[in-house]
Structure 1
């Protein structure tokens, strides 16, 4: 058995060159046909969706052509990190902006965004808005030409924090980390941290993509200050209407609460409950256990005003349920849902009729159209200047956990081809996403949820395809891959994916390189997969570890309520993240060869 190209372990050879050449030729033909077509006859036939809540089953690329950024209005700009300078690059400038984007419902491929065709106005235009935050060298000549887009994680910036050994959500402070030789004196990085990204001259971009996170840049003016160090990027989406009656859309929704401590008793809903509609609360011990209906006297529902994020448990959310857990534990009819009389870990489900879904899949389209605009355009339709026009030659995307899953989903949805049939991202670096995608492009979506052994167990996002290459799934019989659609348009980025040991137990990471029967599958030539033992789900910073564990010869204590009896790993891994990003950027620019994959393989002898 020979070693596959680009891998450090024994496995099957990667895709044959003739197959890759055939894919490239087919992709070129498709692009010519799409580019020359002025009607729908050359577009793929889109089947009816199996249900209004999911996208049509289409494995053929279907680029949306009639969408884009209408306006990008800057609300505030100034020197970032309190005017700190970063080596030869100098200072950085921030831009706080609000983007308005549109999609024509008549676009042949608009139906690939669930509920988008049902959210248009009288002119057939879907309009949505989202926040945009940009960091770029103050001196344009110091910009490296690389734009790094971080998919924010529930509006947070863990990638920026890890790569700079700093804190997230902070564009004001500038404290470098200190790791002394002694057991004391460590200093955690804050704000800019070690300045790694800024010293490289990269332009950094964040934007609102998660449709249940409210905007923060809607006011006329905004600024980064000592008291306002970050603006969590949010999004405002239109409401979908019934395509025939144009009235409100309703549907059954189930929201979940797990009692992980003795006092919590609030279950936040992700959608507005239809007024005066029936609802029920159930409790069960495990996801597969039979639910027990909770008596209505043991819970109350409070409606909210819908100005906060989905699942919020205050009156600013969409609504919340207050559960009388003490009375439930005291009632013997709920004993089957309890563990030795305790409901810690029990699963509560609130079942209700929700109203007014929104097309959450527009979050993907917004990312696509924003990056395309920033790279290729000089001004918007209203004449507002692109703040970084002419600075971008290379586009990269990165994200940790949920954000890494978003990038995988973005590629699978076929959105790395823009409205003008150009490639969006040249390279992507996904961290600790495993084989998963997201619960985003669905009706009644919950982008923040994901399937776990006990919690939100049946949430979509863990279904085939899992790996980047196109294979036939031995379980479902479907043929697909994360890169299937971008291969058809010849717009696949170079891909690095890194996973820790956590993802093999909690995110099915083995399915990236093996199939449903446990056999190795080919890894495409443009993909590298990395696995490092002893690392944690979130990259650990050395200075932070030195503060939390000054003396490694002393065992750390673990709380009785912790998820594990052993302490978490404290192997610093942010240097690994930086090394992968540098190598990916160099690979994309053609100045270095990619690192070889380091991954777990099955080694089936043929």
Structure 2
């Protein structure tokens, strides 16, 4: 067993420069931006750290002559020059991208924030937070300014580790070659030499459809190269590749392709959780930290990184090597009931399983809830939160998570009874909103769906949630009570009940149900779902307009111009009728009563609800003020909500009324 003689992380600062040309953000003052590399050293045999047992293949990672596993990752820090409020805010960068300024400050997305425009409304900086962007995802490729982690490759005494794995491919436009990872940003698990000859490729119409095997002579491990100008004009070539798949005639939209093959050289991806633990601990406690004293540390992640947060807590990584709490508070957003899953050959970029896409993703496995519960199918008992080192958590999710990501299981038992949250957790449904809500969204588009996407604006809710978490941790002020649908009050219902509630909206192709969840045997490749048994997945109840009754209603939902849903259905030729990824829908109300009568719309028209746009804006103001009273919106966001409502919330809505 090795004996540690050095810190778990060394931070090498490369650059230090003024941020936003020295602009002063309120009482906090000016900021600077630091870029750095974190050098990590992990002792796999340290008996003090049971969390390391949750890192698959750590025992197969190469070690140096002191017995330590070494790797490195990118770090960038926005630091208040005057020290700020000694709050560390860690952005779990979604797929290597910096997202905190975009969602908390309504800023344009960039992976190189340097200008005043990149600060948006400056919320995080006016609050004096030190914003830390640290790489944790180890299978990303360089490009677009992504943060990169460089974990080791598992091996056995110089010999490669091999095993069967699956890759799923769904395209919206025909293409003949794809990386095995499906994502150009993501490293593929390479096929072994033997796997080239033993792999099999199938396709199916829907996740539940029987697969049909494609003849081996119609596809190969290769990629198409060329097509653009070269020295002799334009030409293409088919290049053998252990990282890519080529299909003669191309992949067709509307089909799910599934490749089973023997891969090799798995990355030790679980070290990403180790990296976050050790980096944040270093920044908090090490006298050599470049950000000075830190009183409280918070972390935020959305979707993929919300799942990472839940895994981080579940496996005990919120306790550092000295037994100290790492994060005092965490904000997992739109994770649904999922966790990350870092099994061998996992593709971390792949989203959690959805009804049509990535349906065999390992993201959803018991335990789903923060509170202790029993898996009624297996008898297992577990919880996300179960340690004295656990942080305080404000879990937020949208309607989409109830439809696509089994969100009800966050606060119910596996057979659909109310469970609630433990004392150190609160949960909030952002009613009738969708998984991704770009603060700068314009007019809605359909894409490959039947309906225009959901236009509900929710970014202001992030700011209120972080303020509430800070007050809870630093001052002991209880956050607003949980606001989620429940079985007891009739706001969390079965699909049958929801179908009776949802109005007969003209042109709406309803889903046939939420994304169900079955126990999966992962000892087989591909995994096999036991469809004879199921976990109970419930959805939020809706009112006569089709908008959800429970949760936190953003002003646009409290005073609607449409029915807003967390689901959207795929268009013909694209898996028609199945739920589409994480997309919601907007079903506008009829502008006038005459239009309503012609279309047979049962919902009152906008003309019936509001005599003019000024009346609409006045009601939006009242809805925003009510949220402020409940500490679910900041006072500064009242005027932003009213401004957004100008001209009938154009361009998100088009209302043909004076």
How high is the TM-score relative to the length of structure 2? 0.66
User: By how many angstroms is 1:105 displaced?
Assistant: 2.6
In 2, Cα distance between the equivalents of 1:365 and 1:170? 23
Q: Which residue of 1 aligns with 2:654?
A: none
1:81 and 1:171 in contact (8 A); partners too? no
**Is structure 2 residue 42 aligned with structure 1 residue 92?**
no
1:144 and 1:202 in contact (8 A); partners too? yes
TM alignment of 1:360-509, pairs within 5 A: 360-379=269-288, 386-390=289-293, 392-440=294-342, 442-449=343-350, 450-484=352-386, 487=387, 490-509=388-407
SS of residue paired to 2:217:
helix
In 2, Cα distance between the equivalents of 1:582 and 1:400? 17
In 1, Cα distance between the equivalents of 2:355 and 2:89? 34
Number of equivalenced pairs: 465
Q: Which residue of 2 aligns with 1:302?
A: 222
Q: Which residue of 1 aligns with 2:454?
A: 569
SS of residue paired to 1:117:
helix
Q: Which has the higher contact order (CA 8 A, sep 6+)?
A: 1
The 1:405/1:112 distance shift into structure 2, 3 A limit, reads: closer
The 1:464/1:378 distance shift into structure 2, 3 A limit, reads: same
User: By how many angstroms is 1:266 displaced?
Assistant: 2.3
The 1:532/1:111 distance shift into structure 2, 3 A limit, reads: closer
**Is structure 2 residue 11 aligned with structure 1 residue 81?**
no
User: By how many angstroms is 1:215 displaced?
Assistant: 6.1
RMSD, matched Cα: 2.8
Q: Deviations over 1:284-329 (max 9, x none)?
A: 222333332222332232279xxxxxxxxx9999611121236x8x
TM alignment of 1:322-361, pairs within 5 A: 322-325=246-249, 343-361=252-270
1:130 and 1:215 in contact (8 A); partners too? no
**Is structure 2 residue 214 aligned with structure 1 residue 275?**
no
In 1, Cα distance between the equivalents of 2:240 and 2:333? 33
SS of residue paired to 2:401:
helix
The 1:67/1:500 distance shift into structure 2, 3 A limit, reads: farther
User: By how many angstroms is 1:415 displaced?
Assistant: 0.6
The 1:516/1:259 distance shift into structure 2, 3 A limit, reads: same
In 2, Cα distance between the equivalents of 1:371 and 1:197? 18
User: By how many angstroms is 1:139 displaced?
Assistant: 2.2
**Is structure 2 residue 164 aligned with structure 1 residue 240?**
no
Q: Deviations over 1:177-233 (max 9, x none)?
A: xxxxxxxxxxxxx411111111111000111111101468xxxxxxxxxxxxx8421
SS of residue paired to 1:575:
helix
Q: Which residue of 2 aligns with 1:119?
A: 61
In structure 1, stretches of 5+ residues that fail to align are 1-38, 40-63, 176-189, 217-229, 305-313, 329-342, 380-385, 550-555
What is the aligned counterpart of 1:525 among 423, 444, 455? 423
Q: Deviations over 1:131-177 (max 9, x none)?
A: 1111111223xx111100010001112332010110122544546xx
1:67 and 1:369 in contact (8 A); partners too? no
Q: Which residue of 1 aligns with 2:632?
A: none
The 1:447/1:399 distance shift into structure 2, 3 A limit, reads: same
What is the aligned counterpart of 2:9 among 64, 67, 70? 70
TM alignment of 1:159-178, pairs within 5 A: 159-172=100-113, 174=115
The 1:414/1:389 distance shift into structure 2, 3 A limit, reads: same
How high is the TM-score relative to the length of structure 1? 0.72
Q: Which residue of 2 aligns with 1:382?
A: none
In 2, Cα distance between the equivalents of 1:162 and 1:470? 31
SS of residue paired to 2:30:
strand
In 2, Cα distance between the equivalents of 1:124 and 1:540? 46
The 1:593/1:103 distance shift into structure 2, 3 A limit, reads: same
